[in-house]
Amino acid sequence: MPRGRHLRQSQTDWAKERPLIEAAQRDPTRFGDLYDSHFDRVYAYVARRVGDRTETEDLVSDVFHQALANVRRFEWRGAPFSAWLYRIAANKIADRSERIGRERAIQPSPEIEEADQEVAHDCAKVFALVRDLPEDQRKVLELRFVEEKSTREVAEALGRSEGAIKQLQFRALESLRARIGGKHG
């Protein structure tokens, strides 16, 4: 099967990732570091394919539970740890469509798979930037865009004026745009 260059990992990247994986293999309570460095990507990947938030959370949860249970079996064969996680995720997504009575999704082509992983990677960078914002800005973005609340609803939830919410949302998006580097999509 042809493999895109993004599905392979350089020795240098592996050298960075390897200690985290080996630590988790020796002692599963150290899995948290791997979780932190891969959560956003896996979440973005699943969300992109599934759409619905509750479903996404259920699937992401399954993916990491399975990854924790099997981390000792992970062996490096040139592909990064994230590729292993994406594969678990893709299987869970396929199982789910079967379960809910849809036909098993056709296995995406390597090109689509690669594109999806790349998008997930980009999204993950944005999610990480959001986490670096001041807490009140982050909270506003989450309520506004993840939970899809109106400015008024957010104002009520946070006990602040609508004007304050609008200002926080403006500043937060401005600062994200600056950090992303003006690109949007």
Partner 1 sequence: MAEHDPIERLDDALEQRALDGRAAPDREIRELVGVARRLRDMPREAFRTHLRTQLREEAMASTAATAAIQLREGFHSITPYIIVPGAAQFIEFVKQAFGAEEKLRYPSPDGSSIMHAEVKVGDSMIELSDGNEQYPPRPAAIHLYLPDTDSAYQRALAAGATSLHSIEEMPYGERSGSVRDPFGNHWYIATHHGASHIPEGLRTANAYLHIVGANRLIDFLKQAFEAEEVELYREEADGPIRRAKIRLGDTILEMSEAHGPYGPMPTGLHLYVPSVDAVYERALKAGATSISAPADQPYGERGAGVKDPSGNSWFLATPLPARE
**28 binding partner 1? (CB under 8 A):** yes
Which residues, numbered 141-160, are part of the site for partner 1 (CB under 8 A)? Answer: 141-142, 144-148, 150-151
- Measured CA to CA, the distance from residue 80 to residue 75 in angstroms comes to 10
Structure tokens, 60 = 């992401």
Quick one: which of 73, 3, 6, 86 has its CA closest to 40?
A: 86
HEC string of 36-68 equals HHHHHHHHHHHHHHHCCHHHHHHHHHHHHHHHH
**20 binding partner 1? (CB under 8 A):** no
**Helix, strand, coil: what percent of the chain each, to 5?**
80, 0, 20
Q: Between 99 and 118, how does the x/- string for binding to partner 1 read (CB under 8 A)? A: --------------------
**170 binding partner 1? (CB under 8 A):** yes
**48 binding partner 1? (CB under 8 A):** yes
Q: Which residues bind partner 1 (CB under 8 A)?
A: 27-32, 35-36, 39-40, 43-44, 47-48, 53, 56-57, 60-61, 64-65, 68-69, 123, 126-127, 130-131, 138, 141-142, 144-148, 150-151, 166-167, 169-170, 173-174, 176-177, 180, 182, 184-185
